Amino acid sequence: MSLRRFILKRLLAIIPILFGVSVITFAMVHLTPGDPIDQMIGLNPDITPADEAQIRARYGLDGPIYEQYLTWMSNVLVGDFGEVVYSGRDVSTIVIERLPETIALGIFGWVFALGIAIPTGIYAAVNKDKFGDTVSRFVALSGISIPNFWLGLMLILVMALWLGLWPVLAPSRLPLYHPEMLWFLILPGVTIGTAAAASIMRVMRTAMAEEMNKEYVTAARAKGLPERKVVLKHVLRNSLISVVTLAATLTAGIVSGSIVVEVVFNWPGLGREFINAIDRREVNLIMAITLFTGVAIIIANLIADILYAVLDPRIRYD
Amino acid sequence: MSQDTKRSSKVLNRRRLLQGAGAAGVAALAGCSSNGGNGNGNGGNGNGGTDQIQFPLEIQLETNADNDDRVQLVELIAESMEQTGYFETSVETYEWNTYSGRVLDTEYADEGHIPCIGLSGTFNPGSFCDALHHSSNHGQCCNLVGVSNAELDDMIDSARFGSTEIAEDPEARGAAYDEVWRMLADERYSSITHFGLNTAVANMNVHGFASYPFDETVYSYALHAPFDEQVAWLDESGASPNDTDLSDLQEGGTLRVGVGANIDSFDPPYSTDTTSTMAQGFIFEGLTATDAEGIVYPWLAESYELVDTNDIERVAYEDYMITVDADEDGVIDTEEQVIVQHPEDDPVADDEVRVLTPEEAADAVADDVFGMQYRYELHEGVEFSNGEELTAEHVVNSLRRYENSDLSAQTFDSVLHIEEVDEYTVDIFGQVVDAEGERELPGFLIFTEEQAQAEGGEIDPRQEFTPIGTGPYVLDDFSDEQFAEYERNDNYWLEDIGVENLEWFDGPSDFPNAPVIERLELEIIPDNATRSAALQNDEIDVTTGLTSATLDDFDESDDFFVYSVEAGGYDYIQYPLDVEPWDDKRLRQAVNHLVPREAIVSNIFAGWASEAWTDIPELARGAGTADFDALEDEIRPTNEFDPERAAELIEEVIEDRGYPMN
C-alpha cells in the first residue's frame, strides 16, 4: 500500500471514530445530572417547575436524548455546531476564536518538551548510571509528579511576583501572532510541556540505552566511527521510533493539560472554555471541543505513523 | 473583632476542625460496620419507624462537595453533634448537580437526612424565610424538607402581599416579619449558620471605595452613588485611602478591575450571571436606584408615587384570562408572555390552563382591575449616549423586551402591565398589592429604540451590536474572555441636571455629578489565585470574590485595603421534620444549640462572615423587623451554642417519647 493510500485510509477512519466519540460524549453529558437551564436558573425561588419547563422547551432541551442527538448530528453534518444556550453565541465561532490560543500553547509546550527531553535523554543514556543520569532521572520523576496547576502557580510566584521577569497576566491587548507574545508563552508553555518532557526523556533514555547494547553499535564502534557519530546518527534515529509513538500519545496529555494551564495563566484558549462549558453543561460546546480534540489526537497519531517510515524505511504500510 | 483574637481563634479552631473531620470519618465508618455487623434486624440506618429509633441517633448530614467551606461547616456541625454522645453522624457529599437534583426532589423529605445548602438573599426580608419554609417551595428552591405550615405560609405571605398598610408602612411590615422570625425560632425548621460578607480588595491608589451587598453592583455603586454620598477616585500620590474627604478628590485615571468570569452577554434580559450584570451596570440604568440599605430613590425617573392599590388576589384576573393547552411537562402553548397563570390550574397536571397575557392584562387595567399602580415622572432631557432622548415610550418598550426572556419569570411575577401616560410619564401596574413592589416593579433597565426591538441576546459587541444606555460609562472596547474597556460618557444626563437638583439629594454641594474616574478596564481572570497575584503585582487595582485565607493576607498587608459589608448570601441546614424523631421541635432546637456559629465564622471564614444570631441579616432589616435590637435580644439566646441546653432538650425528647438510649 502506498503512503498516500495509507493516509487516505486513516483519514477515512476518522469518521467512525468521531461518530463513536460523539455518541459517547453526548450520552455522558446527558447522563451527568444537570443541564444548561439548571445552571442558568440556579437556585431561584421565583422559578416554578412550569417556568423551568417553558425555558427548557424554548431552548429545545425537552425532547428525548436520541431525538436531541439526531437533531444535533443532522445540524453538524451541514456544518452547524449549534449555539451556546447561555449566551446564544455560535459554537463554531467560539471554537475558531479560541483554537489558535490553544494551538500556540500546545506547539510551544511540544517544542519545549522535545527540546529538553531529547538532549537530556541522550545525555542520560550515554552517561548511564553516572551522576548526570541520576540527576536527570530525579528531575524527570519530579516533572511527572508535579501537578500542572502547582507548577504554574509556583512559576507565577517566583518568576512574576518575586523576580518580576514576567507579568502575571499576558498582555490581552496584543494579538496572538505578535512576536512579543512568544515571551509570554514561555511560562505556560513550560508548565504544559514539563510532564511530557519528563516522560519523553525517560523513554528516550531507555530506548537509547537499549540500542547502545545492540550489535550494530559495537560494529560501528569497531569500524572506528567517532562515538558522537555512532550516537547521533545511528543510535538516535533508531531510538526515536518509540519516542514518536509516545509523543503522539502525549498529545492527549498536552490537550488536557492546557485546561489547567489556561486557567492558571489566564490564557483565553479552548481549555478554559471547556471548563466553563462543562460547568454549565453546555452540550453543544462540549461536543464541539471534544470533537476538535479528537481530530487533533487522531492527526497527531497519523503524523507519528508517517514519521515511522521516515525514521525507518523498512516500515511498510501494508 | 481584633486581628489578634481572630488569629488565635483561627489556630485553635483549625485544630478542632481537623479533629472534627477525623471524628466524622470515624463515625461514618462506625456506622457502616454496625450496619453490616449487628444482623439483629434493627436495620442499620433505620430512623423510619418508632420501634427502630434509638439514641445515639444515626443521622446523615449532606452537602455539595465542590464548596470546601460548606463541607467544613457541615463537618463542624456533625462533630459538635457527635460530641454530645446523642448522635452518630456521618457526612455525605455530592457533586453539585447531583446534589441539587437530589435535595430539590419532593421525596427527599422522607429520607431523613440533614441537608445543607446556600442561598442568596436580597433586601427583601422574605428572601430569608420564604424559599426555605413556604410550602409552595417544596420540590423547588429551597424548602428541602417539606416544611408545610399553613399558619407560617400565611404569615410569610401577608408580610408582603395583599395589604396597602404593609406596602406603605415599613414598620408595620417589620412587625409582621417579627412574628415570622419568632415562629421560626420556635419551630426551628432550619438553622441558618452565617451571613456572608461581600468583600473587595483594592490597592492604596483607590480612594473612597466602598463595598456593596451585591457583586452585580459593587463597582457602579462604589464609583458613584449620590444617595449614599459615595464616590471613588484614584490617587497615586501615596496618600492613605482613609483620606476620603471630597476636597482630596482627583478626577481622571484608569481603574483596572479584575473580574472572576467572562462577560457572557451585554444584553440584560438575556443574561443571569453576576459578571454580565455587573458589566451592563456601567452602561444601562433603570427608573430607580437602591442604596446600600435597600432604600429606593428615583433615578431616571425624577419622582414616583404609589397612585392606587386594590386589595385583590390573582384569581381576580379570571374573567380576562384565555385558555391555552399545556403538555405533560407543563409547557404552555403560547408565544405570548404569561403574566398571570390561574392559581387553581396546574400546567403539569392539567391539559389546559387559564392565563393572562399582555393583551388581556391591558384590558384588566382598563377596567381598573390591578393590584397596584405606580406612576413614574421621567427627567426631561435625559439622553442615551448616542444622543437619543429618553421618553416614556422607551420605558414601555424596554419592559416589553423582558417578555419571554431569561429574566421573564422574575420580572413578571410582580409586573402586570406598563402604560405610557404622556411623553415623560409611565404607569407600572402590579398584579397584587406587594410590599416589594416599589423595588420590584421598576427592576428593569432602559434601552434605546433600536435596542428595544433587537432579538434576544443580540445586544452584544460579539454580535456587532454595541450596547448603548443612559449610564455614566460607554463601552469602548471588548475582547471575549479577555477584557472590557469603558470610558466616561461625555453626554451623561446627571451632569446636565446636577446632583444638587435631585429632589432627594441632601449631600455636600461639591459632590460630583458623575463618576470621576475616566476609564475602566475590566480584566477577565477566572482563577482566584491568578487574580490575587495580579493584584499583588499591580496589574489590577481592585477585585472581589477572593477566598477568606487570601483576604486575611491582604488585610494584614500595608499595601492593600479590604472593604467588606454584610451581604445576602447565607448557608443553612434543614431538619427532616417528616421523619421521626425530627418531628419533635425540641430535637431541632437542641441541634440548633449545637451549631457552633462562632466557630464556623472564625474557623472556616477566618472572620469574613457574620454569625446568624437571627434569621435576618443587616441588609434586610429595613422592612424586615420593627426593632432589630429587640428582636436580636429575644432570638439570639435560642441560637447560641449551648451543649448543656441541647442535652436537656434531647433528654426531654428521649424521656417523653420513650426512646432507648444505648
Over the stretch B277-297, which tens digit does the pLDDT of each residue have? 999 999 999 999 999 999 999
pLDDT recorded at residue B468 = 97
The partner residue sitting opposite A43, judged by closest CB among B119, B139, B462, is B119
Give the model's confidence band at B521: pLDDT under 50 very low, under 70 low, under 90 confident, else very high: very high
Q: Give the pLDDT mean for A41-52.
A: 80
pLDDT recorded at residue B26 = 32
In a domain, B267, yes or no: yes
Task: Kindly state the helix (H) or strand (E) to which residue B64 belongs, with its residue range.
Answer: strand B57-64
Together in a domain, B172 and B108 = yes
> What cell numbers appear for B15 in the block?
485544630
Interchain contact A264–B (C-beta under 8 A): yes
In a domain, B76, yes or no: yes
In a domain, B314, yes or no: no
Give the model's confidence band at B18: pLDDT under 50 very low, under 70 low, under 90 confident, else very high: very low
Give the model's confidence band at B51: pLDDT under 50 very low, under 70 low, under 90 confident, else very high: low
Name the more confident of B630 and A128.
Answer: B630
Together in a domain, B255 and B110 = no
Together in a domain, B122 and B255 = no
pLDDT recorded at residue A49 = 79
Chain A to chain B Cβ contacts (< 8 Å): 147
pLDDT recorded at residue B1 = 38
Together in a domain, B263 and B122 = no
Together in a domain, B46 and B173 = yes
Give the model's confidence band at B40: pLDDT under 50 very low, under 70 low, under 90 confident, else very high: very low
In a domain, B151, yes or no: yes
Interchain contact A317–B (C-beta under 8 A): no
Which positions in chain A touch B271 (Cβ < 8 Å)?
A: 86-87
Of B562, B578, B602, the position where a domain reaches its end is B562
Q: Give the least confident one: B34-43, B271-280, B440-449.
A: B34-43
pLDDT recorded at residue B46 = 41
CB pair distance less than 8 Å for B409 and A173: no
Highest-confidence segment of A61-75, B31-45, B434-448: B434-448
Q: Give the pLDDT mean for B16-32.
A: 33
Together in a domain, B543 and B577 = no
B533 min Cα distance to partner chain A (Å): 7
Asked whether B647 and B195 are in contact (CB, 8 A), the reply is: no
Q: What CATH number does the domain containing B256 carry?
A: 3.40.190.10
Of B562, B591, B610, the position where a domain reaches its end is B562
Residue ranges of alpha helices (H) inside chain A are: 3-31, 36-41, 49-58, 65-77, 91-126, 131-145, 148-155, 181-212, 215-222, 227-229, 236-264, 270-279, 283-311
Does the pLDDT at position B181 exceed 70?
yes
B234 min Cα distance to partner chain A (Å): 22
Asked whether A105 and A267 are in contact (CB, 8 A), the reply is: yes
Beta bridge partners of B429: B373, B417
Q: Give the least confident one: A209-218, B215-224, B296-305, B337-346.
A: A209-218
Together in a domain, B521 and B650 = no
In a domain, B120, yes or no: yes
Report the SS3 class of residue A145.
helix
Q: What are B208-243's pLDDT values in tens digits?
A: 999 999 999 999 999 999 999 999 999 988 888 877
CA distances B289 to A88, B286, B294, Å, are 29, 7, 9
Does the pLDDT at position B2 exceed 50?
no
Which positions in chain B touch A267 (Cβ < 8 Å)?
A: none
Report the SS3 class of residue B203.
strand
Name the more confident of B331 and B356.
Answer: B356
For B550, the domain range is 203-293+448-562
Task: Kindly state the helix (H) or strand (E) to which residue B427 belongs, with its residue range.
Answer: strand B425-430
Of B545, B562, B579, the position where a domain reaches its end is B562
Q: What are B437-484's pLDDT values in tens digits?
A: 999 999 999 999 999 999 999 999 999 999 999 999 999 999 999 999
Interchain contact B329–A (C-beta under 8 A): yes
Q: Give the pLDDT mean for B357-365.
A: 97
CA distances B185 to A176, B78, B188, B195, B558, Å, are 59, 21, 5, 17, 43
pLDDT recorded at residue B247 = 87
Q: What CATH number does the domain containing B42 carry?
A: 3.10.105
- Chain B residues 249-308 with CB within 8 Å of chain A: 262, 264-265, 270-273
Does the pLDDT at position B23 exceed 60?
no
Together in a domain, B473 and B580 = no
Q: How many CA atoms lie within 13 A of B233 on its CB side?
A: 22
Does the pLDDT at position B22 exceed 50?
no
Together in a domain, B96 and B178 = yes
Q: What are B635-653's pLDDT values in tens digits?
A: 999 999 999 999 999 999 9
pLDDT recorded at residue B490 = 94
Give the count of domains, chain B: 2
Those residues whose C-beta lies under 8 Å from the C-beta of residue B361, and which sit 6 or more positions away, are: B317, B320, B339, B340, B416, B417, B429
Q: Give the pLDDT mean for B493-522.
A: 96
pLDDT recorded at residue A307 = 84
Asked whether B568 and B121 are in contact (CB, 8 A), the reply is: yes
Q: Give the pLDDT mean for B555-583.
A: 95
Give the model's confidence band at A296: pLDDT under 50 very low, under 70 low, under 90 confident, else very high: confident
pLDDT recorded at residue B25 = 33
Average pLDDT, chain A: 88
Together in a domain, B173 and B191 = yes
pLDDT recorded at residue B389 = 97
Q: Give the pLDDT mean for A2-6.
A: 80
| Phi, psi of B356, rounded to the nearest 5 degrees | -110, 125
Q: Domain extents for chain A?
A: 21-77, 91-311
Name the more confident of B356 and A89.
Answer: B356
Most B CBs within 10 A among A165, A169, A173, A275, hence the mutation to make, goes to A169
Interchain contact B106–A (C-beta under 8 A): no
In a domain, B303, yes or no: no
Query: In the block, which residue shows the cell 462540549?
Result: A286
Give the model's confidence band at A245: pLDDT under 50 very low, under 70 low, under 90 confident, else very high: confident
pLDDT recorded at residue A317 = 65
In a domain, B311, yes or no: no
Q: What are A103-123's pLDDT values in tens digits?
A: 999 999 989 999 999 999 999
Together in a domain, B574 and B542 = no
pLDDT over 70, % of chain B:
92
Give the model's confidence band at B32: pLDDT under 50 very low, under 70 low, under 90 confident, else very high: very low
Does the pLDDT at position A215 exceed 50?
yes
Query: In the block, which residue shows the cell 415570622?
Result: B180
pLDDT recorded at residue B243 = 74
> Which CATH homologous superfamily contains domain A91-311?
MetI-like (1.10.3720.10)
Together in a domain, B573 and B552 = no
Does the pLDDT at position B35 exceed 60?
no
Name the more confident of A65 and A311.
Answer: A65
Which positions in chain A touch B338 (Cβ < 8 Å)?
A: 54
Give the model's confidence band at B80: pLDDT under 50 very low, under 70 low, under 90 confident, else very high: very high
Q: Give the pLDDT mean for B86-107.
A: 93
